[in-house]
Structure 1
């Protein structure tokens, strides 16, 4: 349980992930902790990405939303498969969208919009594989 997200808020985030993943073979995860142990939240996100096994998806199309709430740091990273396909400004645009919501204290809304945006890109480049498509990673939020 995380003191910053109520069970209802957590469910809204998980629902956004499930909705985004309905039309893509891509995988989206959210990881939340209070403090970022690294100076660089991107490096911490890379470490968490590996620890969560996100690099093990068949098409290397996982996206991680990382938040260190108390430290007010965050990162959004994608695996090799998605990085090769999205427009060059995609990650910066997604971070700006999150930053706008986070600055207003709307973490759930920001995550939901960011997840929706990532889902749109994943759907474009990694459409759902039909009956053969499996959910390779948990949709639940992970906490440290």
Structure 2
């Protein structure tokens, strides 16, 4: 995508685009899915949907991956007891998905798996099924967390908010 096209997409798709991409009932369903998933494992999940990058980030030519890394830090996904937080980041302007796992889970999962999961979510996006794609990603990541960090004898505190972040 050339620079002008990229800028136009980002400037056109703002925070309101993220709100339009997922209905209010859809947000509630996704938040409940995060809560239900986290009840079965010791991991923490965060969902973030951004319409387009703000102008200062566009001027600095920030990539979707770099933005996801920044949000991973800003949303404190790295700051969990077991180092097993996961951020699922969706940038609508570029139809890009980034799934970032903290070092605890990352050590157990191959890069190919994350790539495959991102491709599955991308397929839903191309069809306009944002909520369904995010829901499937949540279920897949939740299954991984349950396999590697099951909620057993240890206390299972909710370390991060379950709310979907819309930017």
Report whether the alignment pairs 1:142 with 2:159.
no
Report whether the alignment pairs 1:23 with 2:40.
yes
Count of residues in correspondence between the two structures: 144
The equivalences for 1:28-67 within 5 A come to 28-36=45-53, 37=57, 38-67=61-90
Report whether the alignment pairs 1:3 with 2:20.
yes
| Distance in 2, Cα, partners of 1:5 & 1:101 | 13
Alignment check: 8 A CA contact 2:33 2:138 kept: yes
Higher helix share: 2
Alignment check: 8 A CA contact 2:65 2:98 kept: yes
Q: Unpaired runs of 5+ in structure 2?
A: 1-15
CA deviation map 1:78-117 (0-9, x unaligned): 1111100123422012101101111111000000001100
Q: In structure 2, what is the equivalent of residue 14 of structure 1?
A: 31
Alignment RMSD, CA only? 1.6
User: Which sits farther off after the overlay, 70-79 or 133-142?
Assistant: 70-79
Distance 1:142 1:95, change over 3 A: same
| Distance in 1, Cα, partners of 2:32 & 2:67 | 25
Q: In structure 1, what is the equivalent of residue 145 of structure 2?
A: 122
Alignment check: 8 A CA contact 1:66 1:76 kept: yes
Normalised to the residue count of structure 1, the TM-score between the two structures is 0.92
How far did residue 131 of structure 1 move? 6.1
Which runs of 4 or more aligned residues in structure 1 lie more than 6 Å from their structure 2 counterparts after TM superposition? none
